[in-house]
Amino acid sequence: MSGHAQIGVTGLAVMGRNLARNFARNGFTVAVHNRTAARMRALVDEFGDEGAFVPAESAQEFVAALERPRRLVIMVKAGDPTDAVIQEFAPLLEEGDVIIDGGNAHVADTRRRERELRERGIHFVGVGISGGEEGALHGPSIMPGGSAESYASLGPLLEKIAAKAPDGTPCVTHVGPDGAGHFVKMVHNGIEYADMQLIAEASHLLRAVAGYSPARIADTFRTWNEGRLNSYLIEITAEVLAHTDPVTGRPFVDVVADRAEQKGTGRWTVQIALDLGVPVSGIAEAVFARSLSGHAELREASASLPGPVPRPLDEQEAARFAGRVEQALYASKIVSYTQGFHQIQAGSERYGWGVDPGAVASIWRAGCIIRAAFLDRIRAAYEIRPELPSLLADKRFAEEIGAAQDDWREVVATAARQGVPTPGFSAALAYYDALRADRLPAALTQAQRDFFGAHTYRRTDREGSFHTLWGGDRSEVSAD
């Protein structure tokens, strides 16, 4: 006999606990379970007045508390812990029940789990949830994959707890079958890596080249946040830069070790992009920048390498340079999103998911970490041209990046002259120039490959594959 809880959450660390509270606050009866029962009791004791919770100390009690079809959300660490929870609960479920993985799972794992559980008549939904612990409680951006049937059961609950865009639209959509939801969340995090790197480079340039203090950079970012760069990440960057360390009285950023860590989704984005043959150079540079920051011994051994002596700018020069940095940041940001959406489209085509990029942009407008004002324009661009091959093929974005390019180039050139590393800005500009180039040096690369490995090449003047017999008379033969 089924219970009366509409949804269940197992795994009550911060994200799981807040997600359970979000469901309860929105009028749903929520079964809660944790491997350590004390954590479950603490949730009910502390937040029981927020809504209807059904505590369950065992897996059997938890499943019995759920109404049919049962909807069971797993909020545990990715990898083996997730598989262990699935193995514990799946035998207790029945045909038509739904297991939801709300963690940052690798898309290959999600596709495997979906396939295995489908064979048992159980729906498996990989759900990307973005917004951190605050978003989980107050309204995240939600990216569910899985079958259409599972979304029919789960969707109304997710739409109730999701963040709401400025026009009131819930920031959740059925992304596509099997691993589509976790794939899109992975790319979201890859764009997040690139966005954070670009913002950090902009701050570094304003300090190292323009000579601004962290407090003045904070003011600059607040101004930028009132315009086209309006976003959550710009907003919090201003707060971080304005913060003073209470222990030392120094700017907070000066007492934080400059070694950035990562949990893996950015790295997965780059790895899978390589498998798909999609260039995400901006995201890759952001991942590598974090990696390089952590190699303390390598950096220490290289600290005495020669480089240029920075030339301080006067007040007027610094103000002009700050304006150029805003242009470079905006243009590079467009490139990052262009690369991310290209990867989503490529993944969707490879796996037959039918992901709607406009719908993805729509659900990223609120709740998630990369929420930004210009996502509404991205949504509109794909709504007007669903087949849009690239954001840079949109007339308005192309005009904006064209207008920014002179300042963008000057910022990258100034950074090189001053010895300030800008891998994100530089990679984004190189990508832009590669796209618009009439010819690339890839012709020479392919000729080299044919020379040493007989890898063949194609010609510009006729169809087919060819190989040159290098040496002797260097005659050409058809390789078809």
Residue tagged active-site, from 67, 77, 160, 185:
185
Q: Say whether 164 is catalytic.
A: no
What is the 3 state secondary structure string of the chain? CCCCECEEEECCCHHHHHHHHHHHHCCCCEEEECCCHHHHHHHHHHHHHHCCEEECCCHHHHHHCECCCCEEEECCCCCHHHHHHHHHHHHHCCCCCEEEECCCCCHHHHHHHHHHHHCCCCEEEEEEEECHHHHHHHCCEEEECCCHHHHHHHHHHHHHHCCECCCCCECECCCCCCCHHHHHHHHHHHHHHHHHHHHHHHHHHHHHCCCCCHHHHHHHHHHHCCCCCCEHHHHHHHHHHHCECCCCCCEHHHCCCCCCCCCCHHHHHHHHHHHHCCCCHHHHHHHHHHHHHCCHHHHHHHCCCCCCCCCCCCHHHHHHHHHHHHHHHHHHHHHHHHHHHHHHHHHHHHHCCCCCHHHHHHHCCCCCCCCECCHHHHHHHHHHCCCCCCHHHCHHHHHHHHHHHHHHHHHHHHHHHHCCCCHHHHHHHHHHHHHHCCCCCHHHHHHHHHHHHCCCEECCCCCCEEEECCCCCCCEEECC
Q: Say whether 77 is catalytic.
A: no
Residue tagged active-site, from 114, 192, 285, 326:
192
Instruction: Show which residues are catalytic.
Output: 185, 192
